[in-house]
Amino acid sequence: MRSLFHEELDFISDQLVRMSRMAAEALERATRSLLEADLELAEQVITDDEEIDAVRRDLENRAIDVLARQQPVATDLRQLVTALRMCADLERSGDLARHVAKLARMRYPLVAVPDDLRPIVKEMSVLAEEMIVRAGEVVAAHDPSGAAELQSRDDGMDRLHREVFRLLLDHDTERGRQEVVDMTLLGRYYERYADHAVSVAIRVVFLVTGSWHDEQVPLSDAGRVHRAEP
Amino acid sequence: MRSLFHEELDFISDQLVRMSRMAAEALERATRSLLEADLELAEQVITDDEEIDAVRRDLENRAIDVLARQQPVATDLRQLVTALRMCADLERSGDLARHVAKLARMRYPLVAVPDDLRPIVKEMSVLAEEMIVRAGEVVAAHDPSGAAELQSRDDGMDRLHREVFRLLLDHDTERGRQEVVDMTLLGRYYERYADHAVSVAIRVVFLVTGSWHDEQVPLSDAGRVHRAEP
């Protein structure tokens, strides 16, 4: 029989998985609002971000409440502190989806993304959504091998990010400056979103290995950013 | 006489102040390396970021160790959890300074910042450095009024950020596309750095008021980003 404490940990883990799905849905809708200049959808994504924030608040309150009441040590303590960190990553992913939606809203009725960049924006979004869902699965399964998988997918994100810069700077194509500014920001949003997915998965490694720090896990590189240099 | 527990809390608070100063120094040097195309200085900033990361690791280890050994509740527990969050913000500020230095390194021997944007980049950097140092002071003094002050300074940062976009999009000035990409990223780095300073100061409000969540503190807006819309 599971103790009350472990039931509470299970609940917290379920909420992390839920947040990862909410963040994936937010990005899918944000990208759709961006590519279709769908103002209503963009507004919805912006408003719905409050729901992710609310799940985070509830999760944090519970985790801290459990910390105070049960005074866990060792692995149990590590689980709770790790959950607090993961929910910060997942909430931030939701924020980045909201930024995409805000950019869509700002350019409406225009489409912020030039035609030749539509496929790559779509591709970045789908990859980022898959990564955050996978990060949620890795959390649920306590699967440390997921971190390496997520990092390998993140290399794919970095390649796409570099390709965005290449396309933006290609002088055979006419570009407006606003277009260059917007695409630079969008590229960064998708890349950072993916970084948070990697970060969540890496935290599972600490949980299982007992190390607290991504910096000490050789396969970790989630802290590294700006890899797809402009 | 202070208890051992409170001495440990004081030490953790001192380390947070130390991190804020390290992050300020990193940004000052990164901006100098950027504006002067100083490759050696840029390399130093990039390397020295590991020191900030090391202070964070040490601080986290201590905080978690205290959590496990002393099993604090109420205000004491809140202090430790808040310290963990603050050190994540401060470490991220250091990362953003490193991004500025990496951009300087990437463009060397060229200067990434066009002449007419030098004054505003310098101004953003000085403001951001002042904000993070002030955030450290707010932590040391447990001064909840500091959050409002930091937010007001952050409004200044947003104005500067908007001005960067205005200058970038001003069609009376010739701009290369690489310049537009670089300045868009740089503007975002300084703005995000300042957001982390605000976030640190707001966490002091939770400490003092007993609320856990920036979202519930009316004066808080640190989670809001992309205010200086492109």
Residue ranges of chain B with per-residue pLDDT less than 50: 214-227
Distance CA B197, CA B150 (A): 7
Q: What is the largest CA-CA distance in chain B?
A: 67
* Regions of chain A with pLDDT less than 50: 214-227
Asked if A165's CB is within 8 angstroms of B181's CB, the reply is yes
List residues of chain B with CB under 8 Å from any CB of chain A: 53, 57, 60-61, 64, 67-68, 71, 73-74, 77-78, 81, 84-85, 88, 95, 99, 102-103, 106, 165, 168-169, 171, 175, 177-178, 180-182, 184-185, 188, 212-213, 215-216, 223, 225-226, 229-230
User: Are A177 and B180 a contacting pair at CB < 8 A?
Assistant: yes
Tokens of A145: 């091998």
Render the burial of A193-202: b for 16+ CB within 10 Å, e for the rest.
bbbbbbbbbb
Judge: B169–A182 Cβ closer than 8 Å, yes or no: no
pLDDT value at residue B33: 98
Closest-CA residue in chain A for B166?
A178
Contact residues for B49 (Cβ-Cβ < 8 A; gap 6+): B26, B94, B95, B97, B98
CA angle, A145 as apex, B60 and A74 as ends, to 5°? 35
HEC profile of chain B: CCCHHHHHHHHHHHHHHHHHHHHHHHHHHHHHHHHCCCHHHHHHHHHHHHHHHHHHHHHHHHHHHHHHHHCCCHHHHHHHHHHHHHHHHHHHHHHHHHHHHHHHHHHCCCCCCCHHHHHHHHHHHHHHHHHHHHHHHHHHHCCCCHHHHHHHHHHHHHHHHHHHHHHHHCCCCCCCHHHHHHHHHHHHHHHHHHHHHHHHHHHHHHHHHCCCCHHHCCCCCCCCCCCCCC
Number of other CB atoms surrounding residue A108 within 10 Å: 17
Report the residue count for chain B: 230
3-state secondary structure of A102: helix
* Chain B hits for A177, Cβ within 8 Å: 168-169, 171, 175, 180
| Unique residue bearing structure tokens 């992710």 | A52
Q: What ipTM goes with this model? A: 0.92
The pLDDT assigned to A1 comes to 57
pLDDT value at residue B206: 81
**Rounded Cα–Cα distance for residues A52 and A68 (Å):** 24
The CATH number assigned to the domain with range B4-216 reads: 1.20.58.220
Domain spans of chain A? 4-216
**Cβ-based interface (< 8 Å): residues of A facing B:** 53, 57, 60-61, 64, 67-68, 71, 73-74, 77-78, 81, 84-85, 88, 95, 99, 102-103, 106, 165, 168-169, 171, 175, 177-178, 180-182, 184-185, 188, 212-213, 215-216, 223, 225-226, 229-230
| Chain A partners within 8 Å of B199 (Cβ) | none
pLDDT tens readout for residues B74-90: 888 989 999 999 999 99
CB A214 within 8 A of CB A208: no
pLDDT in tens, A126-170: 999 999 999 999 999 999 899 999 999 999 999 999 999 999 999
